Structures are given as structure tokens and as C-alpha cells.
Amino acid sequence: MSTVTPFLWFDTQAEEAAKLYVSIFPNSKMLALTPMTAVFEVNGQRIIALNGGPMYKFTEAFSLSVSCETQGEIDEYWARLTEHGGEEGRCGWLKDKFGLSWQITPTALSWMLGDPDPVKARRVVAAMLTMKKIDIAQLQQAFEGQR
């Protein structure tokens, strides 16, 4: 069976990025390291990082999405991925210090947005649009009409 593997183009920081990502996410490990590439797994997802030079930069057109069960997970991933020069975005988006975009979102967001009552979903979206890092309790309050 064919597999799909994200292939990330860095200037010269492939090894540094791979080691950072492996250190942040549980069930992650380095698989191979050469002067040009770092192959690693993040929670079972194989990723290849390339030292390809300065020709290409990351954009928001590509992001890695992390589904979180708890606020603690959101807070931890947010803090680790934005430290040392990362940038907070809106609605759960951020850029790490290498410029790679991430979406750090609660799994609860999917069922809130998928609720058959469109008024509840609209309140959740309105609440989310005011946030940088997602706050599950605030989303829940909006969902229940308490905000």
C-alpha cells in the first residue's frame, strides 16, 4: 500500500527541527539522520525534513494539525511550539521558530461545530474568532449560550 509522508523543506535546520518536534510530542522518535535529511516520527506519522537551502519558505498554505483532548495538552503544545521565536496566530494557529504553521485545536471543537443547532455552532465560531490559543472552557460556554 502507498503511504503519504510530509516532506518539509528547511534551509539548514532539518535536524534541529526534527529533534524539537520529537522532544515535544509523545510516541515520537528519530528514524534516520544524514547531512541532508532527518527522518522522524511524530506520534506514528513519518515525516522527512530536508536541508534544501534558502530558496523556499513555509507559508500558511501548509500546516500540521494537532488534535488535543485537554486544555493542558493545548497549553503545552502552544507553549513549546511558540517558544524561542515562534509566533501566535488566530483561532488556534501558530508558527514555530522555523516558520512552520501548526493548528492546535481541541477535539471538542469538531462536535461543537457539527451540532445540529446552527446557533450553537455560530456562537462557538464567534468565540473562537476572538482567540489566539483556543480555550476549551470558553468554547463550551459559548456552545451552551453562557457567553
- The verdict on 72 and 10 lying in the same domain is no
Predicted confidence band of residue 67 (pLDDT cuts 50, 70, 90): very high
Same domain, 107 and 52: no
Residues 82 and 134 occupy one common structural domain: yes
Q: Alpha helix locations (H) across 3-44?
A: 14-24
Residues 49 and 73 in one domain: no
DSSP helix, strand, coil percent of the chain (3-state; round to 5): 35, 25, 40
Is residue 35 located within the same domain as residue 66?
Answer: no
- 50 and 9 Cβ atoms separated by less than 8 Å: yes
Mapped to the 3 state alphabet, what secondary structure does 82-114 carry?
HCCCCEECCCCEEECCCCCEEEEEECHHHHHHC
Query: What is the total residue count of the chain?
Result: 147
Q: Which pLDDT score is estimated for 46?
A: 97
63 and 129 share one domain = yes
Give the residue among 135, 91, 143, 138 at the shortest CA–CA distance from 118.
143
pTM for the model? 0.93
Does the pLDDT of residue 147 top 90, yes or no?
no
Q: What is the pLDDT of residue 140?
A: 97
Whether 71 and 31 share a structural domain: no
Residues 79 and 119 in one domain: yes
* Residues 28, 64 share a domain: no
Q: How many structural domains are present in the chain? A: 2
Domain extent, residue 95, equals 58-147
| pLDDT band per the 50, 70, 90 thresholds, residue 138 | very high
Q: Assess whether 126 and 103 both reside in one domain.
A: yes
**Is the domain of 32 the same as that of 68?**
no
68-121, pLDDT tens digit by residue? 999 999 999 999 999 999 999 999 999 999 999 999 999 999 999 999 999 999
- Cα distance between residue 52 and residue 9, in whole Å: 6
Same domain, 33 and 92: no
pLDDT in tens, 95-106: 999 999 999 999
Residue after which a domain boundary falls, among 9, 29, 56:
56
Q: Can you give the CATH number for the domain in which 20 is found?
A: 3.10.180.10
CA distance 88 to 104: 11
